[in-house]
Structure 1
């Protein structure tokens, strides 16, 4: 292998059968000079065919995907597969173990560090291995997310704008197949931009689908159910699980995120009182919420307003907020017959 990754695994990606082991992430500490940290990995291969890379635990405090992939890894046997499944339910395993968005080893936010660095911090090494070893094997990549500790999300799927009309249509088709109530197109404005796993996958020629399945560092049964059913529909469509029984997908409302005006941010430290819930339809100029200052009881609360109209995609969970915290994100409908809007969202 020409890639100078420091991560290794006993799993043979080219061998038929079901293998369950881990990636070894080198990490030298006071009490473990030559130690490594396990990143769980299941590889299920049977003959030739497409490869699906399924990831959860990119952020450690997002649980629906972790459970969905663990369930799938136990359920699927090699004889059911045509091609290959690569399943990583706890990709940023130090963050998963800590129940945190970022790694306790280096404060690394994995989904803001792609394409990574083979000689970098532990989190950068994970990103590099995914980019240079795993993604090049994959035809389709699914990265299962939720809102984590700070946000609650409507159950939804996300794709980046396709670089061509054909790629874009293929990505929209993945969202419809997954069958979440909402599917939205975003280039990462206000978030990860080009530093996410989805952006890295797209750059390397794989179709990439991201989910948002709930949030608040709790488990959404609705989000878990959509994840399990949606994954099976995608894998059946790809020809990887040809004979698995699936439920038909429900309709997906296609939406987009229209730049920075779709977000509401706190400009003061205080207690956030929201005036809208996820899934609400709001209009430009409508009150979004207030920031209160119990340490300065004579000070009037600051009132916040939505800068655009749309559906509330996510809302901040913790009431205590600081300047710069995201409080809301809105999505707007993609107009029928306007592929250009989606392509350049």
Structure 2
């Protein structure tokens, strides 16, 4: 059975069979009830000489569907980057909690979307170096990560109305916990997306023009397929942030209720106020400009406000301990949204991502 036949939302034109995903599943994602199993990503196998044998092994990408009659259809996704853990933990817990009687419509879970990267605990896939959030719309005949991107955009997204994708800072970055939406030129769509952001109710919320991955990110795929999208940045640093996870769990409960996909209330708290901010352009992040690598000592932290030309930290040089440290300056005013985790830094390393309060006239 093809994946598209299992999802059951769309029929593929036989004349376009070459565009069908090569990823397959024996899980009927269109069936009523709770179904769980794997999407099977075919991989070539090699003999000891390194030559392809013509046989295949498969990577199993975990998938869960909870379906109960007609209603909204929602995709919940984590593990887009394999070393971002809060979303993976949150979705695994929710999979074990929700039962078909709790749902009105369908929720599809991809808690380890780029499974090779998740298995390796890496941002990108060890199979091909692929960054899933840069490879949409993907290619069914491409590398493993491109095949996953193609499957999500061509097979999953056309069957849902909402896609919520949970990110964090990975092992190199630590984010001020926030939810994220992309601005739309359609006022009605943007208004609905803003409502999702406020319902999710993180203390800080970010509005961006586009992902750093541009149209190659899931945001681009959702724009192309007309799906409402919300993502997050939930801590990072290679750990699971307990406070960020708890806030996100409460926010997701509210969000699912808001979409109408739940048959019973599971949220326990109303959304608190959220501070709307926008990320500054990448050229205005805070970068190390020391020619020599060294150790970065930060002077500011997440949520702090900085001024243009403010010293945000110092670069120290252990191999020349008598050398005076060099200051790292903020190029613009802003709020610290993300910090670099490794102290070891060098020329061009971003140590802080900045944002500013959002206003309609600022975009």
TM-score, structure 1 as length reference: 0.94
Let me know the Cα RMSD of the aligned residues. 1.6
Q: How does 1:88-107 map to 2 (within 5 A)?
A: 88-107=110-129
Aligned to 1:17: 33
Aligned to 1:305: 329
Please give the alpha-carbon distance, in whole angstroms, between the structure 1 residues aligned to 2:361 and 2:73: 30
Please give the alpha-carbon distance, in whole angstroms, between the structure 1 residues aligned to 2:79 and 2:92: 11
Indicate the SS of the match to 1:118: coil
Q: C-alpha displacement at 1:323, in angstroms?
A: 2.8
Structure 2 unpaired stretches of 5+ = 1-11, 14-18, 48-52
8 A contact 1:160–1:199 mirrored in 2: no
The correspondence for 2:167, drawn from 140, 145, 161, is 145
Q: Give a deviation string over 1:158-181, Cα, whole Å, max 9, x none.
A: 111112111111111111111111
Q: How does 1:271-282 map to 2 (within 5 A)?
A: 271-282=295-306
8 A contact 1:143–1:198 mirrored in 2: no
Aligned to 1:116: 138
8 A contact 2:60–2:115 mirrored in 1: yes
Higher mean displacement: 291-300 or 304-313:
291-300
Q: C-alpha displacement at 1:244, in angstroms?
A: 2.2
8 A contact 2:210–2:219 mirrored in 1: no
Structure 1 unpaired stretches of 5+ = none
Larger radius of gyration: 2
The correspondence for 2:319, drawn from 266, 289, 295, is 295
Indicate the SS of the match to 1:58: coil
Please give the alpha-carbon distance, in whole angstroms, between the structure 2 residues aligned to 1:296 and 1:327: 22
Q: C-alpha displacement at 1:45, in angstroms?
A: 0.6
Quickly say closer, same or farther: Cα 1:112–1:322, change in 2 above 3 A: farther
Aligned to 2:20: 4
Q: Give a deviation string over 1:167-224, Cα, whole Å, max 9, x none.
A: 11111111111111111111247x2222211221122111100101111010111111
Aligned to 2:242: 221
8 A contact 1:287–1:304 mirrored in 2: yes
8 A contact 1:232–1:241 mirrored in 2: no
Indicate the SS of the match to 1:278: coil
Q: How does 1:246-285 map to 2 (within 5 A)?
A: 246=267, 247-267=269-289, 268=291, 269-285=293-309
1:243 aligns with 2:267: no
TM-score, structure 2 as length reference: 0.89
Indicate the SS of the match to 2:56: coil
8 A contact 1:255–1:334 mirrored in 2: yes
Higher mean displacement: 244-253 or 299-308:
299-308
Indicate the SS of the match to 1:34: strand
1:185 aligns with 2:201: no
Give the length in aligned residue pairs. 338
